């Protein structure tokens, strides 16, 4: 039986258009680089996702590339080309088996695209920017920008045909959509850049195109979410005040939800807004009636409840659902004391983790709480 203090995690959530989630718990999108070399969905990915989405409210995939020039990660599935429809269809079915709504995160890396993965090494962005290693990104032409907007629409069409319940527009973590909104990476003086309002032109054009395709092609209400990062470290980069302008513009678009990308769910701003209150609280206030997903170092049910109490309608778990695929089931059954907090080097098969992701887990010190097998909890 669920512990009363965690009961609110299992409230049903209603998004717009009457779309209902069976609870407030979300699988956070996490890159796993475990797709086939041709960027199709692999069997290992299907097993990995199915293992940890048993009783979730919402399951958001890792990034799906909307075009070859936007590739950001090796062996990470594509949402372009008819050849990828069968794999995406299997992926949507795997995510939905336990009653979760399945959402495909659609993405273009922009200036963060690795030169060795992008066709002809042609790394593009809003402006010519000096990249690590001394090379520069190429500034996109007006025609190319409009073509990329259409690519997001085509990816949405593919998601609808594959049976996904929705898409999440990845406007966070310094990728192309955020690059257009940021004064650090967008130095244009045409309609796509300049003032804060003009720098919103590309993000809002993507939203409009995704919603247009969903309205035309989805036979049932279709989720359109938007992920964003609230601040950037660069002097000319985004502040909380810029983010409030973005959120007000997005709130007017009748989106299904907004998803804030944070390292810690209870962190406070560095620049802009009220420095004494959490970012999450302020984001929820500005977002109005649009439900917000909170994320960032949520491991325990106590932390998940705290994120809800800060105003989040839903709370996303990333690393925790890798370490403990049965997190939701254990909290619901009142067995939260049995939730695993660490991972051992012998756990790959038991936790159904694809080999490339397992290599990252063991190869990045401090990313996961890896312990010796005999002391694993």
How is residue 250 annotated by DSSP?
A: H
Q: Is 257 a catalytic residue?
A: no
CB atoms near residue 275 (< 10 Å): 10
Tokens representing residue 323 in the block: 């370490």
Helix, strand, coil % over all residues of the chain, rounded to 5: 40, 15, 45
What is the spatial distance between Cα 139 and Cα 111, in angstroms, rounded to a whole number?
10
H/E stretch holding 343 reads: strand 343-344
b (16+ CB within 10 A) / e for 349-359? eebbbbebbbe
Residue with tokens 């967008």: 186
Q: Which of 25, 58, 98 is nearest to 299 (CA)?
A: 25
What is the spatial distance between Cα 252 and Cα 136, in angstroms, rounded to a whole number?
36
Is residue 200 within 8 Å of 194, Cβ to Cβ? no
Relative to beta strand 138-139, strand 343-344 is unpaired
E strand segments, 4-71: 13-14, 20-21, 25-27, 58-65
Residues present in the chain in total: 377
Residue with tokens 């039986």: 1
Is residue 289 within 8 Å of 266, Cβ to Cβ? no
* Marked catalytic residue, from 49, 175, 226, 257: 175
Q: Which of 2, 187, 158 is nearest to 86 (CA)?
A: 158
Tokens representing residue 154 in the block: 């085509």
Instruction: Report, as residue numbers or ranges, the catalytic residues.
Output: 175
């Amino acid at each position: 039986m669920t512990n009363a203090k965690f009961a609110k995690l299992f409230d049903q959530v209603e998004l717009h258009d009457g779309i209902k989630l069976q609870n407030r718990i979300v699988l956070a999108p996490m890159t796993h680089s475990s797709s086939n070399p041709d960027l199709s969905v692999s069997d290992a990915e299907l097993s990995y996702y199915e293992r940890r989405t048993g009783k979730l409210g919402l399951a958001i995939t890792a990034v799906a590339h909307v075009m070859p020039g936007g590739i950001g990660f090796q062996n990470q599935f594509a949402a372009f080309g008819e050849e990828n429809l069968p794999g995406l269809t299997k992926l949507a079915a795997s995510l939905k088996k336990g009653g979760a709504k399945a959402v495909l995160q659609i993405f273009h890396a922009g200036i963060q695209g690795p030169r060795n993965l992008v066709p002809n090494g042609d790394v593009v962005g809003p402006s010519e920017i000096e990249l690590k290693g001394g090379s520069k990104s190429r500034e996109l032409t007006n025609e190319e920008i409009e073509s990329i907007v259409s690519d997001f629409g085509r990816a949405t069409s593919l998601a609808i045909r594959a049976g996904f319940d929705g898409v999440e527009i990845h406007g966070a973590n310094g990728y192309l959509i955020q690059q257009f909104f940021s004064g650090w990476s967008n130095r244009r003086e045409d309609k796509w850049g300049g003032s804060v309002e003009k720098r919103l032109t590309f993000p809002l054009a993507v939203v409009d195109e995704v919603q247009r395709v969903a309205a035309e092609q989805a036979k049932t209400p279709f989720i359109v979410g938007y992920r964003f990062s609230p601040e950037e470290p660069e002097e000319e980069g985004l502040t909380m005040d810029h983010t409030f302008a973005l959120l007000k513009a997005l709130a007017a678009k009748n989106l299904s939800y907004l998803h804030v990308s944070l390292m810690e769910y209870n962190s406070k701003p560095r620049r802009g807004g009220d420095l004494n209150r959490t970012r999450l609280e302020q984001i929820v206030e500005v977002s109005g009636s649009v439900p917000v997903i909170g994320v960032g170092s949520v491991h325990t049910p106590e932390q998940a409840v705290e994120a809800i109490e800060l105003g989040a309608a839903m709370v996303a778990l990333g690393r925790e659902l890798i370490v403990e695929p049965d997190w939701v089931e254990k909290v619901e059954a009142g067995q939260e004391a049995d939730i695993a907090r660490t991972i051992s080097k012998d756990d790959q098969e038991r936790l159904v983790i694809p080999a490339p992701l397992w290599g990252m887990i063991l190869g990045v010190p401090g990313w996961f709480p890896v312990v010796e097998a005999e002391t694993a909890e």
